[in-house]
Amino acid sequence: MIVRAKISLAGDTICGLVRERNEDNFCYVTRPGDNASLVIVTDGVGGHRGGDIASYVCCRMLLDTWRARSYRELSIPGAEAFLHHAIDAVNERLWQSNRFAGQGTAMGTTLVCAIVFAEHLVVAHAGDSRLYMSIPGKELSLLTKDHSVQRLIDEKKIAHSSLRSGIQAGNSIFQAVGTCRSLDLEIQAFDRPASARYLWCSDGLSRYVPEDFMRSCMENCGSAKEALDQLIRAALLAGAPDNISAVCGFPVDAADRI
C-alpha cells in the first residue's frame, strides 16, 4: 500500500522592490499514486550572466526527471540516488553551456530541494537557499547550512584575514549548481515529525525577515498559503531589495487544504 506524503504546499516568487528581473524559480509536485512529493527553490547566482536561465533550467530539468519516473514508490536510499543523479545532470548541462558560451561569469544557481515522505524528507542543497522546520512550541530549526564563505570561516577552514573583498565577502557562496564541473552536493535525510511545518526559501526572504517572525508566522498561521502570504509581505515591508521565493508546507491533518 502506498502511503502518501500528506503535505499541503503553497509557493510564490516575486521580483522584489529593487531588481528589474526575477532570477528565482520554484516548483512543487504531488502526483496521485506517488508516496512522496517534490519541492524545489532555486536562485540564480546574484548578478551573474544568465542566473535567471540557470535557475529555470534547474527547476525544469528536476521537474521533468521527477515526472518521467516509471516507478511511483520511492525508498529513502532511492530518493537520495534520485537527487544525486538528477542534480548532477543539471550541473553538467549548465557547466557545458558555460563552456560553450566561453565568456563572462559562469551562470549558476543555488538550490534547496526536498523529497517529502509521510515520515521523512530527503534534502539536497547548494548555496544559500534554505529549508526551515517549525514545530509548535519549539524554536525554529534551520535544516540546511549556507555554502558561504562565512561558513568556511566559522568552521575554521579559511582565515578571515584571507578575504580580499572586505566584509561583504563573508556572504559570498562557494557552492552553486552549474558553475563548476564537480558539484559537492550536500544531501541529508531527516525524520518528519507529525506536526512539523516547513519553509523553503531563497535568501531574498531569509536575509530580511527575522527568524522570530518566521517562527511566529509558521506556528500560528492556519494554512500554508496564509503563512506564505505573511512571510512575503514581511519581506516587502523590510524593503525587499532582492528577489523573493518561498514554499510553505503544512501537514495535511493540521492545515487547510488549498
Kindly state the helix (H) or strand (E) to which residue 12 belongs, with its residue range: strand 7-14
Domain boundaries, the chain: 7-141+174-253
CB-count exposure of residue 112 (10 Å: 0-12, 13-18, 19+): buried
| pTM for the structure as a whole | 0.89
List per-residue pLDDT tens for the chain, 258 residues long: 567 889 999 999 999 888 888 999 999 999 888 999 999 999 998 555 689 999 999 999 999 999 998 888 999 999 999 999 999 999 999 999 888 876 556 789 999 999 999 999 999 999 999 999 999 999 999 999 998 755 545 554 444 444 444 334 445 788 899 998 889 889 999 999 999 999 999 999 999 999 999 999 999 999 999 999 999 999 999 998 999 999 999 999 744 333
Rg (CA), the chain: 18
Domain 7-141+174-253, CATH among 3.10.180.10, 3.60.40.10, 3.40.50.720, 3.40.50.150: 3.60.40.10
Separation CA 8–CA 87 (nearest Å): 25
**Does residue 2 sit in helix, strand or coil?**
coil
Residue 154 to residues 97, 148, 171, 205, 241: CA-CA distances in angstroms?
A: 34, 10, 12, 23, 26
